[in-house]
A and B are shown apart, each in its own frame.
Chain A
């Protein structure tokens, strides 16, 4: 018996080999597929558990703090503290802080943009009389903007030490410093964000060192201010060390051929007088005259003030004769008039126009302003008592690496994210409150002091980290949600920041152009997990379905391809028992050979023991299916009337229908697999955490696709070669009756295309319906369907090549 079966297998070498290869792929691919499906889920879970949690879990804001744009985009603006209206009192914060599930509750109270104390830059005394022109500029990263009109200073080289002769225009704000003997200029008004925090909580949340806050205000200062302004509380400020707000100074030095005596006369002064003691109006006249004088020599210097930009530090700057900056001037002038003036900036007003987000200028100034500004406090006049005094006692510097690039938990005040134009330039904040890019906080004060300036409910937002959570697991997520609900019920606006990630949002910004801004998108982790879970589920279901269909199909056409031989054997007197035995032995032999080979391959590939078990289970199931399948016998009756259409296809339906079934299922598998995966990837890469998971998973997904492709090719290969084998006589006859090879090919191609086309079409329709249910973007569906058609088309041509090959071998 075995010998007989073996001879038949060898006689159909090609078909037998294909069957064995197909089985090997099934034996190998199912365990690998299942393993990777599990792996995929684990990898997603793992990356989310590891990276899903940021600095904090919940963002608590006052009721109705959420802006319309946040609702539209499902995210949180980087600058969520926004318009500094406050709304949460210190007591309320303390209540939240005392909640047993809260580990850290770090409040933020945005106070506003302060000019702070203005200070001077000392100008060098050169060897020749010179005309200095000063131009101050800031930048938004793209363009520079002058922030004050150019100003001039004329230096006379007849100066003597301690008695510098110069002329400059007096502006109201520079009055205060103008009477020092030093030659200097004031830096124009710039604005700096001041924020109130709780140092201890903030330190716990961010690991930033705020210990400088314990520094005492120098007793001299305390004494002086007590004398001058007994009413005004002294507020300690910590200044951000590494603040980088662009500020440039362009100095043009023109050497002039001028004589001091000539101008003394013009100013109406005597020979020993200091030039600046002249009358203001005359000084202005003289300055206008000197402005017209030709320069003997002219040199320009660009000086970067950015690193020296220390708004709450009243130490002045010094410009050396080499035109380099340092912070050791001989004398400093300070201007405290604007100390109490500050500005509140509203949030950016995003507008949705034709599917795009737009941001318009509020004022096309220099630099342009994008936010509405509200002025608070008023300048001090004369000896008026200020409401408070700011005194810098130290610095802090946020650690830039502390925020992971994968998850977003915007701290709101440190400006850690980068916004870029579509052409790649990084945008920077400008020196004004209405800057498109919000300034990071330039100085911090305590919450209690914030209350003094801002009133009884100073807090704009509280960032809460939960106690007892070490990583972002399902359990943690539930705990976070429960606490969020609790605070929500207390009337706060709550955002679950854990599991959120950065998503790039495109903005059309007036005066800047197209801008890409990283937005914190909430709920990314949960969404990712759901998405990948459902994809894994689909993949597994479809893959299993495919394998089952494939196996049943191949058994059924195996059975029908044997019908002829079976009847023959029956005629020569074989019992049905024997025929059954022959058929099952043949199948078992194939299955076993493939199984043994697979085990060898599994061994060499070094799979886990699980792979052996799964493969063995498949082997056993396949064997029992063989026995069940061949024991079902169906009486076939001879048909004598013709079929009305597609005679060949209908006649060979026993062989063709299983093949069609495989085609339908593999088409569905393909389309769904490619479309859902691409769609998921497309969604995932929108966020940095998603991108990370995709990078981890891409290999697995590609493997599953390749596996599907391999199995489909094998089964089609097998189906068609069996079909052609069964119909070899028919094709041979065509040849004998004188059909040319072209005619035969045409005949076969027409027929094969008819039913393969029908199957692929049906598969596409079904998959379209499934994809529609899954709400996958329709253009992907279209593209993937195209791919599937192309791939399967290639496969069919491959089959025809096989046929030619079979034939060539026979000739």
Chain B
């Protein structure tokens, strides 16, 4: 579904260029869960941004259904993100002044009438396990786990082909973290494609395909079925 060919990314700065990603190729298959692990600052977010059409790679290409997304217009890229990609952030990025429900429908308020969006959002929120009485609350009144669930509901509302999660458990305690991973598994079971990055080894155990971002490269370290240890792969 998404093919990444020889992707490289460098950042320019005053003293020159630093390459973060080098010649990465990866095929993301429909209905699979990809997990990428790596310590902070290795370029995980950068990689996700490249897939999502937010950051143009220095070299290589990202093909979505054989279309090079960086050859699309700015507007088409936005549409691609809105309709085909769901983004989940470490810090949830919920708007503090909107209610839970309004936050969920936010991506589509300029595409569809709110009236049509609300029932869809409510069904989704219930499936994800948010109690009805929280719907009208401001995000401020939610727990971290609840916030991240709301964020996932927002990402899923447009029935995206791919759910991109950037350290979704980073701000959660263990209980909430496990709950969230269960939720993602559940989505995966429903046929949702997921790409998740994390620096948390425990979290990295989830997923169909697990890669490690090391030395600007993605190294496959195994699948969820295979037992593995990070130490082994790094050695």
State the A residues within 8 Å of B (CB): 638-643, 647-648, 650-652, 729-730, 733, 735-743, 746-747
Q: Scoring B residues 117 to 140 as 1 if CB is less than 8 Å from chain A, else 0, what string do you get?
A: 000000000000000000011101
A-B residue pairs, 10 tightest by C-beta: A738-B82, A640-B141, A651-B97, A738-B81, A740-B78, A642-B99, A647-B97, A733-B93, A737-B107, A743-B110
**Can you give 7 A-B contacts (C-beta < 8 A)?**
A638-B140, A648-B97, A648-B98, A737-B81, A737-B106, A738-B85, A739-B107
Whether A729 and B93, one on each chain, are in contact in the complex, defined by CB atoms closer than 8 angstroms, is: yes
Q: Which residues on the A side are within 8 Å of B138 (C-beta)?
A: 639-642
Q: Which residues on the B side are within 8 Å of A648 (C-beta)?
A: 95, 97-98
Known: A640-B141, A738-B158, A739-B82. 4 other contacts (CB 8 A): A638-B141, A641-B141, A647-B99, A737-B81
- CB contact list, B82-96 vs A, under 8 A: 82-83, 85, 87, 89, 93, 95-96
Whether A738 and B79, one on each chain, are in contact in the complex, defined by CB atoms closer than 8 angstroms, is: yes
Whether B54 and A736, one on each chain, are in contact in the complex, defined by CB atoms closer than 8 angstroms, is: yes
Closest A residue to B54 by beta carbon equals: A736
Give Cα A527–Cα B96 distance, bound, in whole angstroms.
58
Whether A642 and B137, one on each chain, are in contact in the complex, defined by CB atoms closer than 8 angstroms, is: yes
Whether A739 and B110, one on each chain, are in contact in the complex, defined by CB atoms closer than 8 angstroms, is: yes
Give Cα A114–Cα B75 distance, bound, in whole angstroms.
94
Give Cα A738–Cα B106 distance, bound, in whole angstroms.
10
**Known: A729-B93, A736-B54, A738-B85. Contact between A639 and B78, CB under 8 A?**
no
Give the shortest distance, in Å, between A354 (CB) and chain B (any CB): 58
Contact of B136 among A642, A738, A739 (CB under 8 A): A642
**Known: A652-B97, A736-B81, A737-B154. Contact between A746 and B110, CB under 8 A?**
yes
Residue B64, interface by CB 8 Å:
no
Residue B167, interface by CB 8 Å:
no
Is chain A's interface secondary structure helix, strand, loop, or mixed overall?
A: helix
Q: Which residues on the B side are within 8 Å of A746 (C-beta)?
A: 110
Contact of B140 among A640, A647, A741, A742 (CB under 8 A): A640
- CB contact list, B36-86 vs A, under 8 A: 52, 54, 74-75, 78-83, 85
**Known: A642-B136, A741-B74. Contact between A730 and B141, CB under 8 A?**
no
**Known: A736-B54, A743-B110. Contact between A640 and B75, CB under 8 A?**
no
Whether A738 and B74, one on each chain, are in contact in the complex, defined by CB atoms closer than 8 angstroms, is: no
Contact of B74 among A638, A729, A737, A740 (CB under 8 A): A740
Closest A residue to B95 by beta carbon equals: A730
Contact of B87 among A639, A643, A737, A741 (CB under 8 A): A737
Q: Which residues on the A side are within 8 Å of B102 (C-beta)?
A: 642, 647
Give the shortest distance, in Å, between A78 (CB) and chain B (any CB): 72
Q: Which residues on the B side are within 8 Å of A735 (C-beta)?
A: 54, 78
Give Cα A50–Cα B133 distance, bound, in whole angstroms.
81
Give the shortest distance, in Å, between A648 (CB) and chain B (any CB): 5
**Known: A638-B140, A640-B141, A641-B136. Contact between A737 and B97, CB under 8 A?**
no
Q: Which residues on the B side are within 8 Å of A742 (C-beta)?
A: 75
Give Cα A651–Cα B98 distance, bound, in whole angstroms.
9
**Known: A642-B98, A647-B98, A651-B96. Contact between A737 and B82, CB under 8 A?**
yes
Give Cα A736–Cα B107 distance, bound, in whole angstroms.
10
- A642, A647, A651: which has the most chain B beta carbons within 10 Å? A642
**Known: A642-B137, A742-B75. Contact between A733 and B81, CB under 8 A?**
no
Give Cα A642–Cα B83 distance, bound, in whole angstroms.
28
Give the shortest distance, in Å, between B154 (CB) and chain A (any CB): 7
Contact of A738 among B80, B98, B137, B141 (CB under 8 A): B80
Closest A residue to B164 by beta carbon equals: A736
- A652, A735, A742, A743: which has the most chain B beta carbons within 10 Å? A743
Closest B residue to A732 by beta carbon equals: B93
Give the shortest distance, in Å, between A729 (CB) and chain B (any CB): 7
Closest B residue to A643 by beta carbon equals: B97
Q: Which residues on the B side are within 8 Å of A729 (C-beta)?
A: 93
Give the shortest distance, in Å, between A809 (CB) and chain B (any CB): 14
Closest A residue to B85 by beta carbon equals: A738
Contact of B137 among A640, A650, A737 (CB under 8 A): A640
Whether A740 and B154, one on each chain, are in contact in the complex, defined by CB atoms closer than 8 angstroms, is: no
Q: Which residues on the B side are within 8 Å of A638 (C-beta)?
A: 140-141
Give Cα A740–Cα B82 distance, bound, in whole angstroms.
9
**Known: A647-B102, A650-B97, A733-B93. Contact between A741 and B78, CB under 8 A?**
yes
Give Cα A652–Cα B95 distance, bound, in whole angstroms.
11
Q: Which residues on the B side are within 8 Å of A643 (C-beta)?
A: 97
Q: Which residues on the B side are within 8 Å of A733 (C-beta)?
A: 89, 93, 95
**Known: A638-B141, A642-B137. Contact between A738 and B78, CB under 8 A?**
yes
Give the shortest distance, in Å, between B166 (CB) and chain A (any CB): 10
Whether B140 and A740, one on each chain, are in contact in the complex, defined by CB atoms closer than 8 angstroms, is: no
Give the shortest distance, in Å, between A58 (CB) and chain B (any CB): 72
Give Cα A101–Cα B68 distance, bound, in whole angstroms.
100
Give the shortest distance, in Å, between A739 (CB) and chain B (any CB): 6
Give Cα A648–Cα B103 distance, bound, in whole angstroms.
12
Give Cα A531–Cα B118 distance, bound, in whole angstroms.
62
Q: Which residues on the A side are within 8 Å of B75 (C-beta)?
A: 740-742
Give the shortest distance, in Å, between B228 (CB) and chain A (any CB): 32
- A650, A739, A742, A747: which has the most chain B beta carbons within 10 Å? A739
